Structures are given as C-alpha cells and as structure tokens.
Amino acid sequence: MGKFKLSVLLSALSIIFTPQLLLAAGGAIEGEVEKQPLNMHAIIMFFVFVLATLGITWWAARKNKTKEDFYAAGGGIKPWQNGTAIAGDFMSAATFLGITGALFAFGYDATLLAVGVMASWPVILFLIAERLRNLGSYTFVDVVSFRLDKKPIRTLSAIGSLSVVLFYLIAQMVGAGKLIQLLFGMEYVYAVILVSFLMIMYVSFGGMLATTWVQLIKAILLLAGGTYIAFAVLTHFDFSLSAIFQSAIDTHPRGKALMEPGVWMDNPVSIISLGLTMMFGIMGLPHILMRFFTVRNAKDARKSVFYATSIMGYFYILIVIIGFGAITFVMNNPAYHTPDGKLIGGGNMVALHLTHIVGGDLVLGFMSAVAFATILAVVAGLTLAGAATVAHDLYAKTFKDGQTVSNTEEIRVSRISTFVLGAISVVLGIAFENQNIAFVASLAMAIAASVNFPILILAMYWKGLTTRGAVWGGVIGLVSSVVLMILGPGVWVGVMGFDEAIFPHAYPTFYSMPLAFIMIWLFSVTDKSARAEQEKALFDVQLVRSETGIGASGAAEH
C-alpha cells in the first residue's frame, strides 16, 4: 500500500484548488503532512517540467521590450495557443480529481460541475470576448473605466481583482507547497518559498508570453494523460459508453439511482447558487479576462474562446468516461481500500487509483507531476493579473493619472509588484498551512461573480450605468458575498466550529450577485448629476468602438 501514499495525499490537496468543487469534495488542507517515500517518477518529471519552463522564461524574457509585450505578449499569441492556455486554467488537477470523485460517488448529479463551467463559454463568446478586446488593452478594468470616472471605478475594480487574485493565490500556494513537501520531504516553509521563487521567475522575467506557454504545455500534458486513461477504460468495454454506464450501475451500491437526479443536491437554491458561481464567476476572473488582450483583434479573441470551449468539452467527456469507468475498476477492488472498507484517500482518489490500474507507477508519477505543473501555471497567471492590476490600473492610470508613465517605469513597477505578491503569497501560504482554506478559493469565485462580472457586463451593454451606481453596487456585491460566505457552512461551521451556519448555503451568489445588479441599477437611475449625463452620452462612442474596433489599440489610454 505504500506506493499509493503519495498519490493519496496529492488527491486530498488538489481537490481544493478549484472552488466550484467545494461541495463535491468537502476536503481541505488541515494539520501536518506526514512525509512519504519518494516517488522517483514524479520527481524526475517534475524536474523536466521546471527546467523546460525556465528555458521558456529565458526565451520569453528576451522578447519583452515594452509593456505590451509584458502584459499581453505584444498581442502576438495565436488563437489556438491562447485558447489552449485558457483551457489550461480550468483543466486543473482539481477538476480531474474532483469531478471524477464526484461522478464516482454521486453519478448523474455530478455532471452539474462540468455543465456549469461549460455554460459560461458561449456567453463569453457572444457577449464578452469581442467587446472586451476592442475596448481594452491589458485588463478588464480598462473596459469598465472607459466612460466612467476613472479613479473611483479603477480603484474599486482593482480591489475586486486583487481580492480574487489573493484568495486564489492562497489556495494555490498552500497546495503547491504541500506537493513539494511530499515530493522531496522538504520543510513546508522552504517548499512555499521555492514555489514563490519559480512563480516570480516566470512572471517578472517572462511576462505573458512565458505564462502562456507554461499554461499551454500543462494543458497538453493533462489532456495526454486523461486521453490515455479514458482510452484504456474504453478499450476494456469495447468502446461502448452504454456498457460503461451499465457496469457502473451494476457495481455501485446506489444502483439505478446513480443515473437519476437528486442523489447529491436536492435543494434548488444551492443548485442554482452553485451554477451561478461557476458560470458567472468565470466571467469575472481577471486572469482569464486578461487573456483576451493577448491576441491581435476581436476575431482572434472569438477564435480563442472557440478553441478553449472545444478543448474543455473534450476534456469533460474524458472526465465522464474516467469517472464512471472508475466505479467498475476501483469500487470493489480491495487493493485500494483500507481494512475497514474505506477507499484509500477518499472519493477524490479514484482518478489516481484508476491511473495506477491502467498505467502503473510510470503513468501515476506522470499525473502527479502534471498536478504540480497545473498549480504553477495557474499561479503564474494569477500573479501576472495581480501585477498588471497594481502597475497598470492603480499606478499608471490612477495614482499617476494625467502623467506620462514610460514603458520602462511601468514594467519596473510590475516586476516590483510580482516580487511583493510573491512575498505576500509566502506569508499567507505559511499562515494558512494548517487551516481549512477551501472557503477562500470559493470566496474568490463568488467575489468575481458578485463584483467584477456585474460591473463589466453593464459597462459594456447598459447606457444608463453611472460611476455612482458601479461603485456602490460593486461595494455592496463585495461586502454581501464576503459576509454571506463567512456566515455560511464553509466558514461558520467548517472554520469557526459552530454547530449550525447562520446562512445555510455554501455559495452566496444566488443572493449577492442579483443584489449587486439591483444596487447598480438603483444608484445609477437615481443619479441625476451632470457627470452621469456625460457618462451616458459617451456610451455611443463606446458602442462604436466595441462593435467596430476603431481605435481599439488605444482604448486603455482613453
């Protein structure tokens, strides 16, 4: 059983990295990690990946001449590359392990996790991608401040973006530190410092170009591993999906109920809130929105979404095959159960158990290394988004408003911001080592859905939006999402230890997002100031630019 110890702990760690999996996993990082025997396959592949990505960073650093290169790779990323990198942000180890584990345990109900993510991309394709690319240059804050009073709206949007980035970063850093601790037996503090060092190297020297290629390579590796496992399952069942499902029904203790709704979630509010968090939270994630500025034009932005959607659609098909196939291979296999009948590592271990069954130690080591590659890719994207927010949105466009900031100065501030974010991530990673941090990642998604998304979509499509409405509605969305999350079961019960949560739902989005929209509308329609009338008049100028792309290259400087 010793050969599985590393993978067991990897699964327990990885599951928290994607916030939409909180309900499925219920897991978190708590307590000390027991050092395990070294997994040499994983260690070798880890070193290969790190050396390759550092080489990419060195190559990218030579191409970073301007802030356009640093933030957006000079707009030279091809649509297929950008789409693959976008998909790489969602095809995480947590998705691979968490959704597979949910399918293994709950069957049909768990498909909500995949559907919620996929549902967002058609909306991004038709409503966001083109206008976002035409109206901005580096960050989505460029868009929301196009016709509004720039200082307050940039400040609020930057606070929302940094909140999302930091909450995500905490979860990623703790998980990455634990992985390094497990792989090498390194002390946790030094493991977190090592991860932070790699993150700073990728971002401060390689910028968006290096970050893109790290994400792209990681996506390809995860796709390759997932394809191999799914193909092995299909081969066993003569490539018959109906045979896979029937075998799962025959093997699983739930029987036919496995393929029926209501096994996992039977509360409509919780189901809708989960769906809203996933669907609209994605549309407010700064490191995802930032990727639409890395291509040449709006057409390429749409193509990027098409490629990302296609890749993720394929990946989720693989997940369904792996999840239901694992029931047959793992459910009653004594080699993967403790003496008292419990699955080693819990339900989130099934993907790696199946990996070992069909691929042996080599493929298991490969997938363990890919788990770390996934974390590094996401951390790099988050850090770059945070650095761009500080240097471009706050420093250059808010604090230095009306003054010319050179490329060299802004890039220097970005690199300083990267080092500061790296230092903060180390401190927070150490502080949260033994805490339940699943709620932190969930809060990031809820904030994105309750602050960034409402302001962004209304800024692009509603003429009546005013600065007062955006600021007050955004503040209320931010406060309500944070407060309801604290009062919910994730924090009130899971962290603070109370017997019963004041707010009964794990996700606050069902309430906080509509509240933000209502408050934005209310404070906007009641704003009769001269400034508000000017903002409404500028909507026509914004509309022309968003639809035609005329003047798009200078949108951020407007």
Q: What's the confidence (pLDDT) of residue 169?
A: 82
Q: Is the pLDDT higher at 433 or at 6?
A: 433
Spatial CA neighbour of 451 closest among 156, 137, 167: 156
CB distance 411 to 70 below 8 Å: yes
Q: What's the confidence (pLDDT) of residue 156?
A: 87
Instruction: Name the residue with tokens 């590592």.
Output: 345
Q: Kindly state the average pLDDT of the residues 205-212.
A: 84
Q: What's the confidence (pLDDT) of residue 348?
A: 63
Mean pLDDT, all residues of the chain: 80
Q: Which of 231-245, 349-363, 458-472 shows the lowest mean pLDDT across its residues?
A: 349-363
Q: Global pTM?
A: 0.81
Q: What's the confidence (pLDDT) of residue 477?
A: 94
> Cα separation of 267 and 271, whole Å?
6
Name the pLDDT band for 23 (thresholds 50, 70, 90).
Answer: very low
Q: Kindly state the average pLDDT of the residues 170-180.
A: 73
Q: Kindly state the average pLDDT of the residues 234-246.
A: 91
Write the pLDDT tens digit of every residue in 56-81: 888 888 887 778 888 888 788 999 99
Q: Output helix, strand, coil percentages for the chain, rounded to the nearest 5.
A: 80, 0, 20
Say if residue 435's pLDDT is above 80: no
Spatial CA neighbour of 348 closest among 56, 17, 2, 49: 17
Name the pLDDT band for 209 (thresholds 50, 70, 90).
Answer: confident
Q: Kindly state the average pLDDT of the residues 91-101.
A: 73
Say if residue 405's pLDDT is above 60: yes
Helix 93-106 and helix 111-123, axial crossing angle in degrees, nearest 10: 130
Name the pLDDT band for 231 (thresholds 50, 70, 90).
Answer: very high
Instruction: Give the type of residue at 315.
Output: F
Q: Kindly state the average pLDDT of the residues 2-6.
A: 44
CB distance 265 to 109 below 8 Å: yes
Spatial CA neighbour of 24 closest among 267, 274, 280, 247: 274
Q: What's the confidence (pLDDT) of residue 234?
A: 94
Q: What's the confidence (pLDDT) of residue 400?
A: 78
User: For residue 379, what is the DSSP state?
Assistant: H
Say if residue 458's pLDDT is above 90: yes
Q: What's the confidence (pLDDT) of residue 17?
A: 37
Neighbours of 334 (CB within 10 A): 8
Q: What's the confidence (pLDDT) of residue 488?
A: 85
Q: Kindly state the average pLDDT of the residues 476-497.
A: 85
> Cα separation of 211 and 379, whole Å?
9
Highest mean pLDDT among 140-149, 386-395, 472-481: 472-481
Neighbours of 25 (CB within 10 A): 24
Q: Kindly state the average pLDDT of the residues 148-159.
A: 86
Residue 2: CA atoms inside 13 Å, Cβ hemisphere, count? 5
Q: What's the confidence (pLDDT) of residue 18?
A: 39
Q: Kindly state the average pLDDT of the residues 544-555.
A: 70
Q: What's the confidence (pLDDT) of residue 47?
A: 83
Residues in the chain: 558
Say if residue 501's pLDDT is above 60: yes
Angle (CA) 22 25 31, round 5°: 95
The Cα diameter of the chain in Å comes to 74
Helix 150-184 and helix 5-14, axial crossing angle in degrees, nearest 10: 170
Q: Kindly state the average pLDDT of the residues 276-295.
A: 86
Write the pLDDT tens digit of every residue in 311-361: 999 998 999 999 999 988 988 888 887 787 777 766 667 888 888 889 888
Q: Which of 189-193, 367-371, 394-398 shows the lowest mean pLDDT across its residues?
A: 367-371
Q: Kindly state the average pLDDT of the residues 405-418.
A: 84
Spatial CA neighbour of 209 closest among 33, 356, 392, 69: 69
Say if residue 14's pLDDT is above 60: no
Q: What's the confidence (pLDDT) of residue 454?
A: 94
Q: What's the confidence (pLDDT) of residue 318?
A: 92
Q: Kindly state the average pLDDT of the residues 301-317.
A: 91
Task: Give the class (CATH, top level) of 2-434.
Answer: mainly alpha
Q: Kindly state the average pLDDT of the residues 265-272.
A: 80
Q: Is the pLDDT higher at 261 or at 225?
A: 225
DSSP 36-105: ----HHHHHHHHHHHHHHHHHHHHHHTT--SHHHHHHGGG---HHHHHHHHHHHHS-HHHHHHHHHHHHH
The dihedral sign for the CA sequence 221, 223, 224, 226: positive
Domain-wise residue ranges, the chain: 2-434
> Within 283-390, where are the H helices?
286-289, 298-330, 350-388
Helix (H) or strand (E) holding 533: helix 530-537
Name the pLDDT band for 183 (thresholds 50, 70, 90).
Answer: low
Q: What's the confidence (pLDDT) of residue 372?
A: 74
- Assigned token pair, 430: 């150490």
